[in-house]
Amino acid sequence: MPDLVTHTATAYFLMRSDSFQRFRVFFYLGAILPDILARPIHIMFPQFYLYTIAIHTPLFMILFTLLFAEFFQTFRLHVIKYLLFGILSHFFLDLFQKHITDGYYWFFPFSWRSFEIGLFWPELPVRLVPVWILLVAATEITLRLKRRFTRISS
């Protein structure tokens, strides 16, 4: 699991365009949702690991998204779409991480085989957190200044 800052920074750069402005918050939520749902339960109840492992799986996230979207009557399909793409970005990054034991069970409950590409250990993204924060801050400041100067000159 890359850390939440790495997931959020990735989501930020994918959704920064103004054309995503209305619903991008759901993408941001989806980008961190698998970890913010699974990790606290895993930390509080480590003895139930084999049960809580199902939370960080595509099937659980799809079911959770469908349930969550029921709270939105008017733009439910947008919520589903943005949440699922955010979750997809999360799982895409997780796919590149190495694990000492099994990785993630992408096809749970149909298969207990885990699969990962394994390019980096979990510590690497944590070391890069200051870089992500600087990049996001620099991008945001630049875009806001650009917007302000465009407004002043027109």
Of residues 117 and 141, the one with the C-beta less far from Zn ion:
117
The nearer residue to Zn ion, 22 or 113, going by C-beta atoms, is 113
Nearest alpha carbon to residue 86 among 9, 39, 33: 33
In the list 35, 68, 86, 97, the residue contacting Zn ion (rule: CB under 5 A) is: 35
Q: Is 3 in the site for Zn ion (CB under 5 A)?
A: no
Q: How far apart are CA 15 and CA 21, in angstroms?
A: 8
Residues in CB range of 6: below 8 A, 6 or more apart: 93, 125, 126, 128, 129, 132
Shortest CB 19 distance to Zn ion, Å: 27
29, 53, 94, 132: which one contacts Zn ion (CB under 5 A)?
Answer: 94
Is residue 34 involved in binding Zn ion (CB under 5 A)?
yes
Can you tell me the distance from the alpha carbon of 72 to that of 94, in angstroms, rounded to the nearest whole number?
29
List residues near Zn ion by CB under 5 A: 1, 34-35, 94
